[in-house]
Every structure is written in C-alpha cells, then in structure tokens.
Structure 1
Amino acid sequence: MRRISAVLLVLSLFLPLSGCTLSVYNNYRELERLQVIETVGFDAAEDGGVALSISAGRDASGREPVRASATARSVTEAMQELQDLSRSDELFFSGTGCILIGEAAASETARWLELVARSDSLRLDTPIFAVRSGEAAKLVTEAGGEEGDITQIMQALISFAEKNGPARIYTCAEAARSLVENGAALIGSVREAEDASKEGGLTAELDGYAILGSGGRLMGCIEGEDALGVGLFYGEPGRAALTLESGVTAELAGGSVGLAPVWDEAGNITGLSVEVSVDAIVMEVAPSLDLSAEAARARVEDELAERCGAWIYNILDKSISLGLDFLGLGQRLERGDPDRWHALPEPWPEQLPELELELRSSAKILNVREFSDAPDWGG
C-alpha cells in the first residue's frame, strides 16, 4: 500500500502538467486509423486477472459504436488482445472520457488508480464511477443497444449531475489524492437500469457515491437524496429541484457548510458543531399557498432547512460510524487552527469515530418578492 500511495501521490501532483495535448503528441498516429476509446471498464477476473471492456462511441458518420471486451492476466495483455481484434485500427485511449469499475473490482480500486497513473495513454483527469451490484463490462458493451452507447449515456449523466446534482464528479486524480491524504475517498456510482424508451433496453443511472477506504477498498455508499449533500458540503449543491410538503417546488441556488471543532480540556476533538445554510428559488407554488404571508414563507424555509440539513448530518454520521474521512474533515479542521491541530494528543483517525455531532440549519428563499404582491389574474 505504501508503494501504491507514493505512486498515486507523485503522479496526481503532476496532473496540471498533463492532458490531451501532451498525450496526443506522445501517441501520434495516422488520424484515419485511430479508433478513439471513449469509455473503459475494469472488472475483476479469476486468479487476480482483469476483464477489460471498451467502447469507442458513435462517430460522426453514425456507424455502430465499437464495443469489445477481453479477459487476461493484466490490463496490458488485455489491451493487446483488443488491439489484435481491431485489425487495422489503432486503439487510442488518450481520449477516454469515463472509467467504470465493477463492484467486485471496486474492492481494490487503488489497483486501477495506480494503473491509470502509470499508463502512458489513460489520463488521471478522467471521471471514474463504480458500478453498484454489477459489472462494468455489461454496461460498456450492451448499454444503449443499437441506437446508443454507454459513452452517450455517461456524458448525459455527468452533464445532468453537474447542473442539477449531485454536483461533484470525481476524477481518478481526485480519488487517488484523497486516498493518500485522507485514507478514504469518494467516487461516483452508477447502476444498471431498464431503458424506458425501448423494451428490454439497458442503460445506466446515477446512484450516489461509493465510499473507498484503505487501499481503495469499497466500504459503503451514499445513496438517495443524501448524495446531494456531498455537493452542498463543498458549496456546490447544483440546481436540484425539491418538492416540499408545504406545497412549494424550490430549486437550490447555493449553500455552505460551516464546521467548528468541540475541544476537551486535554486538547482532543470530541465533536463537531455544524452550520448548514442553503439558498433556493421558488419555481412552483400550490394554489392554496399564499407566500405573501410571512408565516407561510417561514414554514417553507424551515422545511427546506430541515431537509438539506439531514443530508449533511447523514453523510457526516456515516463518515464517523465508518471511521473514514472521505470528506477531508481533518484537512479542513487543520486549516482552521493549524497550531492546535498539530498539538492533538491522539491521532485524528482515532478521534474521528468518537465524534458527536451538533447541527443547525437555515434556508432562505431568494425570490420571495415575486410572491409578496401577486398579480390579480381575474381582471
């Protein structure tokens, strides 16, 4: 693990110096012979082997996307087998826009991150997702059917997530860096789903985040609405639309999470005081609700605050219960008071599982003036 950590840390630090331009010049081929691999899947095989799956996506001519898989003792060997199958086309991996790892393979995510870090073709800035309760190969080679492909599906999911939440999309570099610095990390998670547009069709759906522990081992997940709390924790909640019991549909417009450590007399951290604040814009209002009334607005804001506060509480509670700092809490607390942090009598990993949480949340409707003087549509 020490060797893996060293490799991932050093190479992740060089991420700003890498990218498509360097990769293209290092891997120059005749353009008409290039087959750009846009999605790659890793699955665990017997005896420590690997099942590598690839999708080239659909080109401008509308040809069927190239999809294939190979099982071998190593990724390099599997790549060579796939290259042999492609005949005259040169497989070009530097254009890969997404990496999927099957759930079994996610038990050793550090292996795949190290492989990407060492590769002269795959890139560290590539988004990475775990396939929950499934294999990457099935999605890579079958999703989308004859009219689509996994590349189109993942591009749409990533675009939707960045705009509407959960807003954070983790790359290989970010996961590697967090594993080295925090001993834990998050990566996106997807699952197999039925394509509603065609009977029996296969597609992928966002499914929150996978939690990685020591060595990149899959330790749990953040699912459902709690996944929106990850973006909110970092001040990037996206524009998720929430339908509230009070009769309002509100769209998130911003937010923040403040952390303050609770210290004991010995200088240990015994708890966290958490302040959650969110801003939202009302999109729809039930006919029976009068938002021009202060009491009605207060009920809406209280409900919104409680709902968003629950996301943050749940993900912090999961971090504490697992003893895994996948949110980078330690780094954040260290920046707040470096001297006191470095004087901790006990290591942070030993204090994390014992923390108690105290959370307060608030919400503000930004466009309340639009409802203070509602127009009289009756004429």
Structure 2
Amino acid sequence: MRRALAVMLSLLVFLPVSGCTLSVYNNYRELERLQVIETVGFDAAEDGGVTLSISAGRDASGREPVRASASAQSVTEAMQELQDRSRSDELFFYGTGCILLGEAAAAETARWLELIARSESLRLDTPLFIVRSGEASELVTEAGGEESDITQIMQALMHYAEKSGPARIYTCADAARALIENGAALTGAVRKGEDAPKEGSLTAELDGYAILGGKGRLMGYIDGEDALGVGLYCGEPGRAALTLSEGVTVELAGGSVELVPAWGEDGSITALEARVSVDAIVLEALPGLELGSDEAREAIERELAGRAGGWIYNILSKSVSLGLDFLGLGRRLERGDPERWHAMSSPWSSMLPELEISVTAGAELLNIREFAGAPDWSGTYEQ
C-alpha cells in the first residue's frame, strides 16, 4: 500500500498537465458520437467486486440523460459492460465533474483513489463525495427523476457550498495527498433526500465532511454547523448566513485560525491553542433593535465569536479523539517552527491523541455603522 500511495503522489505532480494526453482531437473521435460521462459512482460489490454507475446528463440537443450501472469484478470490466450497452455512442469519462463513493466502498477509499490515479479515463482533480448511509448507484441512476439528474444536482450543491459554506470542496487529489502526507483526510459528504417541490423525487443534500483514516478507511463525519469550521480553519469560510439570538442575521465575510503550541520540557507538544478570528456583515435585524450602541455591537460580536470558536473546538477535539490529523495540523505547526518541530522527542502521531485543546475567539462586524442612526420612517416633517 505504501508503494501504491507513492505512485499516487508521483502522479499528483503531473496532474496540471494530465489533460494534454487525452485530447478528443488527438484520439480522432467524432464529437457527435461521444457520450460525456459527468458523474461517476463507485460501490463495493460482493466478493471484492465493484458496482460502477454513470450519468451523462442532458446535452444541448435536449437528449435524455444516460443513467446506468454495472457490477463486475473490476472497474475496467464494468466500464466495458456499460460501453457495450451504449451501442454506437462512445462513453467519454474525461469530462467527469464529480465522483460519488458509497459508504460501504469508503471502507477502502485508497483503493478507489489509486484506481483513479492510474486510470486513463478519470482525473484526480475531480471533486469527491461520500454518500452517507447509502449507495452511490442509487443517487447516480435515480436522483432528479425525469426532469433533472445527479449532475445538475451536484453542480448546484457545489456552487452553493462554495458561495454559502462550507466552502471547501475536496477533490480526489486533495484526499490522496492528505492521506500520503498526514495519514488522514477529509472529503465531502452527501445524503439521500426528497426533493420537496417534486414529491417523491430523489435528490442529494450536502451533509458535512467524511473523515478518512489509514488506507482511506472511513472513520466518521463532521456534522452540521461544525462543517463551517473546516472552511474557517482553511481560510475559506464562505458566506454562510447565521441568525443570532439577538435577532440579528449576519453573513460570514472572512476569518482565520492561528495555532499556538505549548512545548514541554522534553521537546514535545503538550497543548494546542487555536486563536480564531471571524469577520461578518449584518444582513438584517429585528425592528426596534438598536445596533448603534457599543453594548449591542459587543453582544453580537461576542455571540458570533463563541459560535465560530465552538466549530473550531469541535473539529480539533474530533481530530484528537480519533488520533487522526485530517486537518493537517502537523504540517502547519512544522511551517511555524521547523527547527523545533524536527527536534521533537516523539513522533507527532503519538502526541496528537494526548493534546489539550483550547480556543480563544474574536469577531468583528464590518458594517455596523450602517445601522447607526437609522432613518425615521414615520413621515414626520419638521420645518
């Protein structure tokens, strides 16, 4: 497995130029005959086999989306079976924009990442999502019903996540690199849901992040609002809207997390303080709420800071409790003090589960002055 992961790492180096080798024109394929596969799903089948599911989406001519699945002992065999079913159209996987992995298959995510890295058809820079408590094939072949498809659904979800948070979208390359460097990784997670406007129609919904451990084994999830902490930790919080108890709705506008280690006398790291800073803008407030005073502003900023600090504390605590550095804490600490890091008395992996975590947080409302001295809407005119 170490050798396989090393091969994956070497392939990551050539990722930016990998598209040059599979040009449609270089392979002399007729564009009209290409069926561009936009979403791919992998599920674990019996006896170590695989179920491969594909969705081609709708093309410009309005042709119905192609959705199919095949089970075989290998992905190559499953691809060939699907190709045989497609008659005259040639399945073109290099346009794939999303890969879904069933939860059972996520027990050995490294297997699929290695396959993608070696594939001549799939790309490592493709976003990767794990289907919580479900199979990828169900979403790929059934989501969207007759009017939509999984490709449109996933594109909308990724656009929403990048805009409104959690903003971090992980690719196969991100997961492979993190597993090789840190022994753990994060990837997006979705769950099955019902499309409310279309009663009974299956859809996909964002559902936090999946945590991968050694060999890419699924070890747990980051749930709910804590997923926003991942984006904040990475400096990409998105523009999530939060309603606070003071009757104010704010939108995240930026933030950062600084890690401050506490060093023991033996040269080991014994504790870790996270200093969280978050910026936001006020979108709206309840009628009659006076935001111009320092007291009101401080109360809102204090609540926002506590909420953001809670996200960071929860994800750091999960990293410690699992003993998995899925956030890349070690890499960041090494960059902060490389000399001291390399002189540590024990390996980082043995220190992580014993760390004491503390968080301090601050927040700033960037547009609070706009709400000071609100206009008089009573219509009273004084000459």
Match in the other structure for 1:362:
362
Match in the other structure for 1:236:
236
Instruction: Give per-residue Cα distances to partners, 1:196-255, cap 9 Å, x unaligned.
Output: 011111000000000000000000000100000000001110000000011100000000
- Say if 1:100 and 1:128, in contact at 8 Å, map to a contact too: yes
Instruction: Give per-residue Cα distances to partners, 1:289-322, cap 9 Å, x unaligned.
Output: 1101110111000000000110000000000100
Match in the other structure for 2:89:
89
Q: What secondary structure does 2:375 align onto?
A: coil
TM-score after normalising by structure 1: 0.98
Instruction: Give per-residue Cα distances to partners, 1:126-178, cap 9 Å, x unaligned.
Output: 00000000000000000000000000000000000000000000001110000
Instruction: Give per-residue Cα distances to partners, 1:90-131, cap 9 Å, x unaligned.
Output: 000000000000000000100110011001110111000000
Match in the other structure for 2:52:
52
1:79 equivalent to 2:79? Answer yes
Deviation at 1:29, TM superposition (A): 1.2
Percent of paired sites with the same residue: 76
1:266 equivalent to 2:266? Answer yes
Deviation at 1:377, TM superposition (A): 1.3
Deviation at 1:267, TM superposition (A): 0.5
Q: What secondary structure does 1:375 align onto?
A: coil
- Say if 1:211 and 1:326, in contact at 8 Å, map to a contact too: yes
Alignment of 1:1-379 (within 5 A): 1-19=1-19, 22-25=22-25, 27-379=27-379
For the residues of structure 2 that align with 1:212 and 1:6, how far apart are their CA atoms? 18
For the residues of structure 1 that align with 2:218 and 2:140, how far apart are their CA atoms? 21
TM-score after normalising by structure 2: 0.97
The 1:111–1:4 alpha-carbon spacing in structure 2 relative to 1, beyond 3 Å, is same
For the residues of structure 1 that align with 2:25 and 2:225, how far apart are their CA atoms? 43
Instruction: Give per-residue Cα distances to partners, 1:50-79, cap 9 Å, x unaligned.
Output: 000000001112221000000000000000
For the residues of structure 2 that align with 1:290 and 1:22, how far apart are their CA atoms? 61
- Say if 1:193 and 1:204, in contact at 8 Å, map to a contact too: yes
Question: What residue identity is the alignment partner of 1:138?
Answer: E
Deviation at 1:24, TM superposition (A): 3.5
Gaps of 5+ in 2: none
Deviation at 1:27, TM superposition (A): 4.4
The 1:378–1:52 alpha-carbon spacing in structure 2 relative to 1, beyond 3 Å, is same
Instruction: Give per-residue Cα distances to partners, 1:248-290, cap 9 Å, x unaligned.
Output: 0000000000001110111100011110010000001011311
For the residues of structure 2 that align with 1:63 and 1:290, how far apart are their CA atoms? 56
Q: What secondary structure does 2:199 align onto?
A: coil
Deviation at 1:26, TM superposition (A): 5.2
The 1:102–1:283 alpha-carbon spacing in structure 2 relative to 1, beyond 3 Å, is same
Single out whichever of 288-297 and 273-282 deviates more from structure 2.
288-297
Deviation at 1:19, TM superposition (A): 2.9
The 1:205–1:329 alpha-carbon spacing in structure 2 relative to 1, beyond 3 Å, is same
Q: What secondary structure does 2:225 align onto?
A: helix
The 1:219–1:25 alpha-carbon spacing in structure 2 relative to 1, beyond 3 Å, is farther
Q: What secondary structure does 1:224 align onto?
A: coil
- Say if 1:182 and 1:328, in contact at 8 Å, map to a contact too: yes
For the residues of structure 1 that align with 2:72 and 2:290, how far apart are their CA atoms? 65
The 1:227–1:26 alpha-carbon spacing in structure 2 relative to 1, beyond 3 Å, is farther
- Say if 1:23 and 1:121, in contact at 8 Å, map to a contact too: no
Deviation at 1:48, TM superposition (A): 0.3
Deviation at 1:22, TM superposition (A): 4.5
Single out whichever of 13-22 and 356-365 deviates more from structure 2.
13-22
Deviation at 1:23, TM superposition (A): 4.4
For the residues of structure 2 that align with 1:27 and 1:321, how far apart are their CA atoms? 50
Question: What residue identity is the alignment partner of 1:99?
Answer: I
The 1:278–1:54 alpha-carbon spacing in structure 2 relative to 1, beyond 3 Å, is same
For the residues of structure 1 that align with 2:177 and 2:50, how far apart are their CA atoms? 24
For the residues of structure 2 that align with 1:130 and 1:210, how far apart are their CA atoms? 7
The 1:228–1:303 alpha-carbon spacing in structure 2 relative to 1, beyond 3 Å, is same
For the residues of structure 2 that align with 1:353 and 1:364, how far apart are their CA atoms? 33
For the residues of structure 2 that align with 1:285 and 1:110, how far apart are their CA atoms? 48
Gaps of 5+ in 1: none
For the residues of structure 2 that align with 1:258 and 1:288, how far apart are their CA atoms? 37
- Say if 1:20 and 1:95, in contact at 8 Å, map to a contact too: no
Number of aligned pairs? 379
The 1:23–1:329 alpha-carbon spacing in structure 2 relative to 1, beyond 3 Å, is farther
- Say if 1:23 and 1:120, in contact at 8 Å, map to a contact too: no
Q: What secondary structure does 2:326 align onto?
A: coil
Question: What residue identity is the alignment partner of 1:283?
Answer: L
For the residues of structure 1 that align with 2:21 and 2:62, how far apart are their CA atoms? 26
Deviation at 1:376, TM superposition (A): 1.1
